[in-house]
Amino acid sequence: MARKTLALAVLIAGFTAASALAQQPPRIVSPEILPDGRVTFRLNAPKAGDVILTGEFLEGNRRLEKGADGIWSVTVGPVEPEIYHYNFTIDGVRTIDPANPQLKTGSTASTITSVLEVKGASPAFYDAQPVPHGDIRTHWYHSKSLGSVRRLTVYTPPGYDENRSSRYPALYLFHGANADENAWYRLGRANLILDNLIAAGQITRFVVVMPFGYGVPPGQAQAENTAKFGTDLIQDVIPFIQSRYRVFTDRGQRAIVGLSMGGGQALNLGLNNLDLFSYVGGFSAAIGNAANHARTFAKLTSNVEEANGKLKLLWVGCGTEDSLFAPNQAFSDFLKTSGVTHTFHRTPGAHTWSVWRQYLREVAPKLFPQT
Amino acid sequence: MARKTLALAVLIAGFTAASALAQQPPRIVSPEILPDGRVTFRLNAPKAGDVILTGEFLEGNRRLEKGADGIWSVTVGPVEPEIYHYNFTIDGVRTIDPANPQLKTGSTASTITSVLEVKGASPAFYDAQPVPHGDIRTHWYHSKSLGSVRRLTVYTPPGYDENRSSRYPALYLFHGANADENAWYRLGRANLILDNLIAAGQITRFVVVMPFGYGVPPGQAQAENTAKFGTDLIQDVIPFIQSRYRVFTDRGQRAIVGLSMGGGQALNLGLNNLDLFSYVGGFSAAIGNAANHARTFAKLTSNVEEANGKLKLLWVGCGTEDSLFAPNQAFSDFLKTSGVTHTFHRTPGAHTWSVWRQYLREVAPKLFPQT
């Protein structure tokens, strides 16, 4: 499969970020995507004794070799078209590729990586294409329940501003640990995925609400965080959204989905609040210990018939290479044993955005189907 | 002056980013703001031979000292309350502080730094405060003139959505070299500065349009970039904004301002298009060689009386420690010699966001005064 260089691909997308590399060569070009799809990484570090590359496109890691000019390099692949995260570890210090402007950031330092995007011969489902585009809106809102000003990101589908008599369903979509309210659009490309699905006529237009997933600082107990985050969601975020956006306010037009930590939040908050949500999804969810399910989901299992009637979708997906696969399988078993109708979606893949972008693409058409 | 720790300050702002550091101590806390306002930086690098700190809060740079545990550290300051950028250089490799989640990113790798925010005893003019907040909207728009999908960021003032019969003036606000369309709100805090000024009754409410400043890849000739960027601005961005936002469409309600590279763009495009703009500003503008001014601004100087009648504000500001101070002084001299009425604002400061945040705060009240 033919591949464009990173520089060209980025320029075409209109974010000329890395294209400087092609136009005004700095000393170091890294990463460089070769015509055959292999990728060369470079680092100018004459004094370093050891440079290691770790990345989602590698099994294990790779050692860079030092050239006579003090520039370290390694070529890997071919690498399949995808968006990947990677790091350099220089003499034991895990850091970024200092020649690459594309970074993944979040709410803790542990999440910082460089980003490698390999383009295919044709646009991916998450690429910006010449179709009508929705907008991303960032709000600073006052959370009365948490007593602070917080940020919130919202996607509105193309036509939202123009079609002022239309109302829309709402998907509440949560990020994972160490990430933030921008992760689903910056890393997940949620807006572009939905723009493309809308252009293809494959989904209903809906608003996506992406709150900041921490009610307590990152690293504290997940149960406490879910409780505080959930209070903010229900008492502050949903009312804020319903006061500012033309969204339907009935449970039939509300979905709750999240990934990893946010998957645990979505399943927990969704299944305990079926008066608010009718579509519930967990992507590689941090669903917790199976020993706690009976207590955590007591409300759900106390009246399974009613729950099954209310749930238009309960979707649990996880990649088999994900360390959370076994807990997700166990959660599905718990649901099955309890008689709760659901989809358990077992796929290849690990705990990566490539899985979650794909899951959003698969789940979006199942939300709010037009009758 | 009392100072909060970074962790606490960030938590209060609702972006719990660094607060993990305080709650679940990782091996390394960096930066740590001490009660007396000094700041300790740390790096775990047992194999490193040399670690240097460079930062906007330093004259020159500082060498970290290696502890017996392999952790390097240095304490600097006291550091005045402000938002600063800094880097570590580890054995000659310029990189970020790997323990700090707060990063400055942009469109080239050279712009990547870590961020240190020192809070004062009371909120700064750029802090999120409990006042009504405007929104930030990100658009993906098709530039017909450049043949690509580009991003564009817009600030709408508090009340924009609710007051649907109101129309607003528009400020077109440009970022500097190596930055992007998010710089003015992520680094410049433009939205929070304006929210606070609005709450204090000091400015008219207006929409701020922040386009991506590169029409050619970063590093190419500035004149070519200004021409292409200007074509996109006039043929694509302004029409897009006027089709999507309730903005006035007459020149009297349009301002054009930028910093550094964007300052050069704003002065060049603004003063050559007085049929479109009536307020023009350059912050630490990359205004180019004085030998070219006569040609670049021939249109302006061909009818100075008309230009002075049209210009409601021409504001040129630069810090005396900025390497662009002399060119800005020379530009002011050129304007003076040519008889063009303007304000030359000479301030302390270098080529930093602390200067540009302050300039926005000072210029905003001069835009669109209500009669």
Tell me the domains of chain B and their CATH numbers: 6-118 (2.60.40.10), 135-366 (3.40.50.1820)
Instruction: Please check the confidence at residue A181 and state whether its pLDDT lies above 80.
Output: yes
Identify from A8, A95, A162 which residue to disrupt to test chain B contact, counting B C-beta atoms within 10 A and taking the largest count. Answer: A95
Test A149 with B47 for CB contact under 8 angstroms: no
Nearest CB partner across the interface for A94, out of B17, B98, B106: B98
Of B152, B352, B128, residue with least CA distance to B259: B352
pLDDT at A371: 61
What tens digit of pLDDT does each residue of A44-95 get? 999 999 999 999 999 889 999 999 999 999 999 999 999 999 999 999 999 9
Residue recorded with tokens 């992507």: A283
Nearest CB partner across the interface for B244, out of A161, A216, A217: A161
pLDDT at B371: 61
Test A44 with B149 for CB contact under 8 angstroms: no
DSSP B366: G
Query: Closest residue of B to A164, CA-based?
Result: B164
Q: Which residues contact A351 (CB under 8 A, 6 or more apart)?
A: A260, A284, A319, A322, A323, A324
Secondary structure element (H or E) that encloses residue B271, with its range? helix B261-271
Convert A33-77 into a string of H (helix), E (strand) and C (coil). ECCCCCEEEEEECCCCCCEEEEECCCCCEEECEECCCCEEEEEEC
Rg of chain A over CA atoms, in angstroms?
22
Identify from A10, A15, A216, A242 which residue to disrupt to test chain B contact, counting B C-beta atoms within 10 A and taking the largest count. Answer: A15
Contact B70, B46 (CB under 8 A): yes
- In percent, the amount of chain A with pLDDT more than 90 equals 87
Which of the two residues, A370 and A352, has the higher pLDDT score? A352
Query: Closest residue of A to B129, CA-based?
Result: A149
3-state secondary structure of B32: strand
Test A96 with B100 for CB contact under 8 angstroms: no
Contacts with A106 from chain B: Cβ below 8 Å: 101
Q: Which residues contact B111 (CB under 8 A, 6 or more apart)?
A: A101, B104, B105, B178, B179
pLDDT at A272: 97
Task: Provide the sign of the torsion angle of the four alpha carbons A16, A21, A23, A26, taken in this order.
Answer: positive
Contacts with A133 from chain B: Cβ below 8 Å: 139-141, 149
* d(C-alpha B225, C-alpha B218), whole Å: 9
* d(C-alpha B120, C-alpha B37), whole Å: 9
Q: Is A8 exposed, middle or buried (0-12, 13-18, 19+ CB in 10 A)?
A: middle
Collect the ranges in chain B with pLDDT lower than 70: 1-27, 371
∠ CA A205-A207-A208, nearest 5°, is: 125
What's the token pair of residue A203? 């989904």
Average pLDDT taken over every residue of chain A = 91
Instruction: Please check the confidence at residue A280 and state whether its pLDDT lies above 50.
Output: yes
Residue count of chain A, please give it.
Answer: 371
* d(C-alpha A51, C-alpha A66), whole Å: 9
- Supply the ipTM of this predicted assembly: 0.88
Test B219 with A91 for CB contact under 8 angstroms: no
Contacts with A192 from chain B: Cβ below 8 Å: 140
Contacts with A219 from chain B: Cβ below 8 Å: 20, 23-24
DSSP B15: -
Instruction: Please check the confidence at residue A245 and state whether its pLDDT lies above 80.
Output: yes
User: B53 forms bridges with which residues in the sheet?
Assistant: B62, B88
Of B159, B192, B49, residue with least CA distance to A92: B49
Query: Closest residue of A to B140, CA-based?
Result: A133
Contacts made by residues B22-27, CB under 8 angstroms, sequence distance 24+: B22/A217, B23/A216, B23/A217, B23/A218, B23/A219, B23/A220, B24/A217, B24/A218, B24/A219, B24/A220, B26/A109, B26/A110, B26/B99, B27/B71
pLDDT at A289: 92
3-state secondary structure of B161: coil
CB neighbours (10 Å) of residue B95? 22
CA distance, residue A331 to nearest chain B CA (Å): 29
A306-312 average pLDDT score: 97
φ/ψ (deg, to 5) at B341 = -65, 130
